[in-house]
Structure 1
Amino acid sequence: MYDRDVDVGLAAWLITIVLILALLAVDLVLAAVRPHAVGFKEAVAWSVFYIAVAIAFGLVVYAQHGGEFGTQYFAGYLVEKSLSVDNLFVFVIIMTTFAVPAEHQHKVLTFGIILALVMRAIFIAVGAALLNLFTFMFLVFGALLIITAIQLFRHRDQDPDVGDNVMIRATRRFLPITEGYEGGKLVTRLDGRRAVTPLFVVLIAIGSTDLLFALDSIPAVFGVTEEPYLVFTANAFALLGLRALYFLVSGLLDRLVYLSTGLALILAFIGVKLVLHWAHKDISDSVPEVSTNVSLIVIGVVLTVTTVASLVKVRRDPTARAHAGSLRASSDEPANRQAPS
Structure 2
Amino acid sequence: MAETPLAFEIITFVVLALFFIVDLFVIGRRPHVPSTKECVQHIAFFVVMALIFGGCIWFFAGSKPAIEFYSGWLTEYSLSIDNLFVFVIIMSNFAVPKQVQKYVLSVGIAIALVFRGIFILIGAALITRFTWVFFLFGAFLIYTAVKLVLGGDEDEEYHENGIIRNLRKIIKITDDYDGEKLRTTKNGVRY
Structure 1 letter corresponding to 2:63: G
Residues 195-231 of structure 1, C-alpha deviation per residue, up to 9 Å, x if partnerless?
Answer: 1xxxxxxxxxxxxxxxxxxxxxxxxxxxxxxxxxxxx
Which amino acid in 2 is paired with 1:101? P
What is the RMSD computed on CA atoms of the aligned residues?
Answer: 3.4
Higher relative contact order (CA 8 A, sep 6+): 1
Report Cα offsets for 1:223-279 as digits up to 9, x if no partner.
xxxxxxxxxxxxxxxxxxxxxxxxxxxxxxxxxxxxxxxxxxxxxxxxxxxxxxxxx
Which SS does the other structure have where 1:182 is aligned? coil
Q: CA deviation at 1:124?
A: 4.3
1:7 aligns with 2:7: no
Could you tell me which residue of structure 2 aligns to residue 96 of structure 1? 92
Displacement of 1:113 in angstroms is: 1.9
Q: Report the equivalent of 1:205.
A: none
Question: Kindly tell me: are residues 192 and 87 of structure 1, through their superposed partners in 2, closer, same or farther at Cα, counting changes over 3 Å?
Answer: same
Matched AA of 1:30: I
Q: Give the Cα–Cα distance (whole angstroms) in 2 for the partners of residues 55 and 124 of structure 1.
A: 27
**What SS does the aligned partner of 2:184 have?**
strand
* TM-score normalised by the chain length of structure 2: 0.77
Higher mean alpha-carbon deviation, 21-30 vs 118-127, is at 118-127
1:42 aligns with 2:38: yes
Question: How far off its partner does 1:142 sit?
Answer: 9.1
Match of 1:122 in 2: 118
CA distance in 1, matches of 2:55, 2:93: 40
Tell me the TM-score normalised to structure 1 length: 0.46
- TM superposition shift of 1:77: 1.9
- Structure 1 residues 26 and 86: CA distance shift in structure 2, 3 A: same
- The total of aligned residue pairs comes to 186
The equivalences for 1:1-341 within 5 A come to: 7-8=3-4, 10-27=6-23, 28-32=25-29, 34-126=30-122, 133=128, 140=135, 143=138, 147=142, 149-155=145-151, 163=159, 165-195=161-191
Whole-angstrom distance in 2 between the partners of 1:89 and 1:29: 26
Contact 1:163–1:169 (Cα < 8 Å) also in 2: no
Q: 1:146 to 1:186 in 2, by over 3 A?
A: closer
User: Structure 2: where are the runs of 5+ without partners?
Assistant: none
| 2:176 partner amino acid | G
* Residue type of the alignment partner of 1:53: M
Identity across aligned pairs (percent)? 39
Which amino acid in structure 1 is aligned with residue 57 of structure 2?
A: V
Q: For structure 1, list consecutive stretches of 5 or more residues without a partner in the other structure.
A: 196-341
Which amino acid is the alignment partner of residue 170 of structure 1? Answer: N
